[in-house]
Amino acid sequence: MIFDLSGKTAVVTGSGSGIGKAIAIQLAKHGATTCLIDLNEESIINVAEEIRANKNSAKAYPGNVASQAETIQVYAQIVKDYNTIDILVNSAGVSHIGKLDNTFEADFDRLYQVNVKGVYNSMYGAIPYMRKQNRGVILNLASVAAGLGISERFAYSMTKGAVLSMTLSVAKDYVQEGIRCNCISPGRVHTPFVDGFLKKNYPGKEKEMFEKLSKTQPIGRMGKPDEIATLALYLCSDEASFITGTDYPIDGGFTRLNT
Q: Which of 129, 156, 174, 248 is catalytic?
A: 156
Is the pTM above the cut of 0.85?
yes
Residues 180 and 97 reside in one and the same domain: yes
Residues 84 and 199 in one domain: no
Residue 130 lies in a domain: yes
- 224-255 residue pLDDT tens: 999 999 999 999 999 999 999 999 999 999 99
Inter-axis angle of helices 192-201 and 206-214, nearest 10: 130
**What is the number of other CB atoms lying within 10 angstroms of the CB of residue 35?**
29
Q: Read out DSSP for 52-99?
A: HHTT--EEEEE--TT-HHHHHHHHHHHHHHHS---EEEE-------B-
- Please indicate, yes or no, whether residues 151 and 81 belong to a single structural domain of this protein: yes
Please say if the pLDDT value at position 153 is more than 70. Answer: yes
Please list the residues that pair with 88 across neighbouring strands: 11, 138
Q: What is the DSSP string of 178-239?
A: TEEEEEEEE--B--HHHHHHHHHHSTT-HHHHHHHHHTTSTTSS-B-HHHHHHHHHHHHSGG
Task: Report if residue 128 sits inside a domain.
Answer: yes
User: How many CB atoms are located within 10 Å of the residue 194 CB?
Assistant: 19
Average pLDDT for 157-174: 98
Per-residue pLDDT tens over the stretch 49-84 = 999 999 999 999 999 999 999 999 999 999 999 999
Domain-embedded: residue 29:
yes
**259 in a structural domain:** no
Q: How far apart are CA 136 and CA 175, in angstroms?
A: 10
Closest among 126, 244, 129, 131 to 177, alpha carbons compared: 131
DSSP code, position 17? S
What local confidence, expressed as pLDDT, does residue 192 receive?
86
pLDDT-based confidence at 259, cuts 50/70/90? low
- Tens-place pLDDT, residues 189-215: 999 888 888 888 889 999 999 999 999
User: Residue 87: which pLDDT band, with cuts at 50, 70 and 90?
Assistant: very high
The reply to whether 235 and 177 lie within a common domain is yes
Helix or strand run (H / E) with residue 132 = helix 117-133
Per-residue model confidence (pLDDT) at position 196 = 86
74 and 180 both lie in a single domain: yes
Same domain, 69 and 173: yes
Q: How many Cα atoms sit within 13 Å of 96 on the Cβ side?
A: 23
Average pLDDT for residues 110-122, to the nearest whole number?
A: 98
How many domains does the chain fold into?
2
Inter-residue contact 114 to 70 (CB < 8 Å)? no
Tell me if 14 sits within 8 A of 38, measured CB to CB.
yes
Question: Are 118 and 217 found together in one domain?
Answer: no
Examine the domain organization and report whether 45 and 131 are in the same domain: yes
Q: Are residues 218 and 149 in the same domain?
A: no
> Average of pLDDT values for 97-119?
97
Q: Is 156 a catalytic residue?
A: yes
Res. 258: pLDDT tops 80: no
In a domain, 80, yes or no: yes
